[in-house]
Amino acid sequence: MKSSKSLHNRLIRHLREWHRKLGIFAAFFIIFLSITGVALNHTTALSLAHKPIRNIWLLDHYGVAPPNDIRFYQQSSLRVTNNLVWLDDKLLLESSADIVSAGVMSATVSSDTVVDVFVIASQAHLYIYSRQGELLDQLGVEAGIPAGIDALSIDSDIIIVKTPTGYYQSNSDFLSWQAIAPLLEPLWITAHSVSLQKEQQASLAYRSQFLTLERIILDAHSGRILGFVGVLFMDAVAILLILLSLSGLYIWIRYAKNKR
């Protein structure tokens, strides 16, 4: 009987020792899971879904590829990355068709008021934006825009587009288009060259749109940020926390009985 009690006391002593050591190890994960859990519960208030990730290592880890098409227009104020168009650092447009070109034209808004607007041409649409980046109009084939735009030319308030079926011209109201056969080739708007640094900045801005802080926190919380191995590791941490809870409960029960 005495030997059995001595064995039990040694078991409790070792259990307390391991409980203390594992508890210190598990404390980090308890704090980490608590912080990430609270953040995910308040993702809307914290705007986590609208905070893009700009860390190159994380973007590479998630397989977010850089754009294969980077172009700059209007002294670099307008830039194209694949099918996205930016005004400085503001995302203006995500087009379903390839972006052809972009420029500035004079538009008459009243009898005595003329303003400059951005004209962005995709293969299927013309998009009209104010200088402040406000969408003023979106015109497609249903509005008379020639289909299959390949090139764009702007001269003051005259716009010319090139399509597989020929050249078409309109003015700033875009209400009517007529086929033309110019004697000289129009001066098509082309992208201008920029420094490698600006290209890298444009590439990073494009990639960051596809990975947010919310996704990083969610994957870190579940372990998926490290793939299948990370999920197994977080499962092991969960089992460890369960064992710590059970051992702590057992130690407390034995301690309470001994006090009686």
Query: Average pLDDT by consecutive 10-residue portion of the chain (260 residues)?
Result: 55 65 74 87 89 93 93 90 91 91 79 80 91 89 86 88 91 81 90 91 92 92 85 82 75 64
- What pLDDT does residue 260 have? 57
What pLDDT sits at residue 106? Answer: 80
CA–centroid distance for 228 within its chain: 24
Joined tokens for residue 221: 């919380």
Are 161 and 151 in contact by the 8 Å Cβ rule? The answer is yes
pTM for this entry: 0.73
Q: Are 122 and 99 in contact (CB under 8 A)?
A: yes
Neighbours of 197 (CB within 10 A): 8
* Whole-number pLDDT of residue 123: 92
pLDDT of residue 115: 81
Rounded to whole angstroms, the Cα distance separating 10 from 15 reads 8
- Return the percentage of the chain with pLDDT > 70, whole number: 85
Residues in contact with 233: Cβ distance below 8 Å, sequence separation at least 6, in sequence order: 223, 226
So what's the pLDDT on residue 156?
A: 78
The enclosing H or E element of 64 equals none
For 99, list phi and psi in degrees, rounded to 5: -80, 130
Residue 81 is predicted with a pLDDT of 94
